[in-house]
Structure 1
Amino acid sequence: MTKVLRTVNRVLLGFIGLVLVALGGSVLAVGLGLNPPAWWIHDGRHDVLLSEAERTRWRDDDWWWPTVIALLAVLVLLALWWLTAVLRRRRLSEVLVDTGDGAGALLRGRALEGVLTTDARNLDGVARAHVLLTGRRDAPETRVRLLLEPNVDAGEALHDLTTGALAHARNSAGLASLPTEVRLKAVKHGAERVS
């Protein structure tokens, strides 16, 4: 799924970039004195982008300016959302594993997350576990959330996680270190009425 999204992102960015370069380049070329084709929106170097009639067409209508401003605000918000989504990589897709022969191998990030989640869930006193792999492929990091059963010692659960699941994952992937942020939360049971 991430590969498809990455491909869609690249195609969409490439298309938008190509359209902007083509329009900007053609306007620049016409402005520098080149004769445009007959179907082009500009006739010559002294032609304006919008004529006075086009600019003032809906000026007196009450709906025009609020609609334009709302549309531009939505476009800016969508562009900012898209930019942050592209720049923020939450999940690591692959980990570089040292195979000892100098070549290395790639391990799928979801596979390592799944193994870590299963190992963490099998620890004594853990009701639920969630693992997220972040960082770079040659220096991965993990974020672990554990939901602990009532009356479980959090220190003991953290020790079991560190010496068990995390140590196993670090050794299996041949990593020098595996920095981890662990969040522990206890299950809260509601009061029961006894009659």
Structure 2
Amino acid sequence: MSAMLRTVNRVLIGLVGLVLVLLGGSVLAVGLGAAPPSWWIHHGPHDVLLSVAERTSRQGAGWWWPTVLAALAVLVLLALWWLIAVLRRRRLAEVVVDTGDGEEALLRGRALEGVLADESGNMDGVQQAHIQLTGRRSAPEVRVRLLLEPHVDPGTALHQLTGQALTHARDSAHLAALPAEVRLRAARHRAARVS
């Protein structure tokens, strides 16, 4: 399903980009003096998008221009939302696992994240573990954020993470490599009030 969504997303981005390039290039060409075809919306370098007659034809309907502007604002917001959704790093929905008999299986990304979070969270001195899978199905990557107790040495926590949780995940999924970006943060110790 996610592969189909990626394909649809790429096709839509390609079509929108092609339309924008063709429209922008043709408007630029007409603005620089090229002769447009008779059916084109612009007829010369001094032509405007809407003539005075077109702008004032709906003057009696007070709802027209606010509606047009609101619709354009909604379109801009939807385009920005889509752009942000495309550009941000997405979670990996599934990982391709080699079953050892020449076949492949799919492992849910959330399941692998959950196991990694549980094992990382149970390490000595870790208050909280947050795991996110990124990358490709055949070459996953891990983003790890650990909240450590104030007394824990970050080097020891990193060694435990790479030697235990990440190694177990890589071996159990039969992955050649499992690159990880690890962020460690120490929890703040709150002083207790003594009376």
Same fold (TM over 0.5): yes
CA distance in 2, matches of 1:86, 1:129: 26
Shift of 1:56: 1.4
1:162 aligns with 2:162: yes
**Distance verdict in 2 for CA 1:80–1:161, change over 3 Å:** same
CA distance in 2, matches of 1:51, 1:158: 67
Shift of 1:85: 1.6
The amino acid that maps onto 1:98 is: D
Q: Which runs of 5+ in 1 are unaligned?
A: 18-30, 32-49
CA distance in 1, matches of 2:139, 2:170: 11
- Number of aligned residues: 159
Which secondary structure does the structure 2 equivalent of 1:183 belong to? Answer: strand
**Distance verdict in 2 for CA 1:67–1:96, change over 3 Å:** same
CA distance in 2, matches of 1:175, 1:133: 14
> What's 2:132 paired with?
132
CA distance in 1, matches of 2:152, 2:60: 70
CA distance in 2, matches of 1:153, 1:109: 30
Which secondary structure does the structure 2 equivalent of 1:150 belong to? Answer: coil
Which secondary structure does the structure 1 equivalent of 2:155 belong to? Answer: helix
Question: 1:30-109 residue pairs with structure 2 within 5 A?
Answer: 55-59=55-59, 68-86=68-86, 88=88, 90-109=90-109
> What's 1:179 paired with?
179
TM-score, normalised via structure 1 length:
0.67
C-alpha offsets along residues 131-183 of structure 1, whole Å, 9 cap, x if unaligned? 00000000000001101112111110010000000000000111111000111
C-alpha offsets along residues 34-87 of structure 1, whole Å, 9 cap, x if unaligned? xxxxxxxxxxxxxxxx99866413459998656644542331121231243246
> What's 1:190 paired with?
190
Which secondary structure does the structure 1 equivalent of 2:161 belong to? Answer: helix
CA distance in 2, matches of 1:89, 1:133: 10
Between 85-94 and 100-109, the greater mean CA deviation after superposition = 85-94
Which secondary structure does the structure 2 equivalent of 1:133 belong to? Answer: strand
Between 77-86 and 159-168, the greater mean CA deviation after superposition = 77-86
Which secondary structure does the structure 2 equivalent of 1:106 belong to? Answer: strand
CA distance in 2, matches of 1:130, 1:86: 22
CA distance in 2, matches of 1:184, 1:88: 22
The amino acid that maps onto 1:168 is: H
Identity %, equivalent residues:
68
Shift of 1:89: 5.0
CA distance in 2, matches of 1:152, 1:67: 59
C-alpha offsets along residues 13-49 of structure 1, whole Å, 9 cap, x if unaligned? 7xxx9xxxxxxxxxxxxx7xxxxxxxxxxxxxxxxxx
Which secondary structure does the structure 2 equivalent of 1:164 belong to? Answer: helix
Shift of 1:194: 1.9
CA RMSD of aligned residues (A): 3.6
